[in-house]
């Protein structure tokens, strides 16, 4: 090999190494951004006892008060479970729904106090910022769901280790999709009041049309159609069927939806919402 050839080879090797180092450096930088934003969301949650209590109070009220009050009227279902046992999976999903969507309020809060602008002008990837927000909000939502899961034995729901792992995975997936949806909405809001009004209009229909509090069979046609358009329906359906073997599946034109399709629908929604949130975040002023 001539000196020129050796120099060309060495130059190509160095360029390749520099390119690889640059890619590794960007990856580490973005990973650090995701971690720092995630860590900030966790700290904000742990330093807000009122948020923790309020996030658990409403699901527990639904489970204890509504469940105990309606149980004598509704009686046992065809699966041999009480009304409290029936709505328990829905209460878990409701806790994740509330916490996931309202976790995006931090974006509006940061915008009002100018911190969001500082984040956006920092030399970090906006995709990393969105992933950090989504990871932080999802972690908080799942933490609240896991706390409620401890109540299962007290209302007569017995779960084995595989069921607990399955429910945890489904809660994580549902939180991921709903947090991404919340970020899409929050990135377009300028004022805290506007975000709270929009959330009130979004959360309640998603909850009551998900089958969390009542079975989805034998509904009027128009109501059944709306419930099938609600992505939270498939999260509640999957969680309930993992916790209560033999629970009836959501049907589409009489066809029972398998659990794996529930997972695919939620995951597809999450990916789509995440892509939209990244795009919306890039347009934030």
Q: What is the pLDDT of residues 132-171, one digit of tens each?
A: 888 888 888 888 888 888 888 877 778 888 888 999 999 9
Q: Is residue 220 part of a domain?
A: yes
- The answer to whether position 272 is within a domain reads yes
Specify if 225 maps to a domain. Answer: yes
Neighbours of 43 (CB within 10 A): 11
pLDDT mean across residues, the chain: 77
Q: What share of the chain is helix, strand, coil (3-state, %, to 5)?
A: 80, 0, 20
The answer to the question of residue 13 being in a domain is: no
Confirm whether 170 is domain-assigned: yes
Q: What is the pTM of this model?
A: 0.80
Would you state the pLDDT for residue 237?
Answer: 92
Q: Express each pLDDT in 240-276 by its tens digit.
A: 999 888 888 888 888 889 999 999 999 999 899 888 8
Question: From the CA atom positions of the chain, what is the Rg in Å?
Answer: 23
With beta carbons less than 8 A apart as the criterion, state whether 41 and 105 touch.
Answer: no
Residue 222 lies in a domain: yes
Q: What is the pLDDT of residue 267?
A: 93
Specify if 125 maps to a domain. yes
Task: Quote the number of domains for the chain.
Answer: 1
User: Is 152 contained in some domain?
Assistant: yes
Residue numbers of the domain that contains 187:
23-282
Q: Give, to the nearest 10 degrees, the angle between helix 126-149 and helix 105-112.
A: 130
Residue ranges for the chain with pLDDT beneath 70: 1-25, 27, 71-80, 112-124, 281-285
């Amino acid at each position: 090999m001539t000196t020129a050839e050796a120099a060309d080879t060495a130059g190509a090797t160095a360029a390749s190494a520099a390119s690889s180092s640059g890619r590794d450096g960007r990856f580490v930088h973005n990973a650090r951004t995701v971690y720092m934003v995630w860590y900030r969301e966790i700290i904000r949650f742990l330093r807000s006892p009122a948020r923790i209590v309020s996030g658990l109070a409403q699901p527990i009220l639904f489970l204890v008060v509504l469940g105990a009050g309606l149980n004598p009227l509704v009686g046992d279902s065809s699966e041999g479970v009480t009304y409290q046992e029936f709505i328990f999976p829905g209460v878990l999903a409701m806790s994740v729904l509330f916490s996931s969507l309202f976790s995006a309020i931090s974006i509006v809060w940061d915008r009002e106090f100018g911190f969001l602008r500082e984040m956006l002008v920092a030399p970090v990837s906006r995709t990393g910022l969105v992933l950090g927000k989504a990871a932080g909000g999802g972690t908080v939502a799942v933490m609240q769901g896991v706390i409620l899961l401890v109540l299962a034995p007290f209302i007569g729901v017995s779960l084995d280790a595989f069921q607990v792992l399955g429910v945890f995975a489904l809660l994580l997936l549902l939180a991921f999709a709903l947090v991404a949806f919340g970020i899409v909405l929050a990135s377009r809001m300028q004022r805290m009041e506007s975000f709270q009004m929009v959330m009130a209009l979004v959360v309640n229909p998603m909850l009551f049309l998900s089958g969390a509090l009542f079975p989805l069979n034998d509904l009027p046609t128009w109501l059944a159609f709306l419930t099938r358009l609600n992505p939270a329906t498939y999260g509640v359906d999957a969680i309930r069927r993992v916790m209560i073997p033999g629970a009836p599946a959501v049907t589409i034109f009489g066809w029972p939806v398998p659990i794996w399709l529930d997972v695919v629908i939620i995951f597809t929604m999450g990916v789509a919402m995440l892509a939209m949130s990244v795009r919306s975040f890039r347009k934030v002023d």
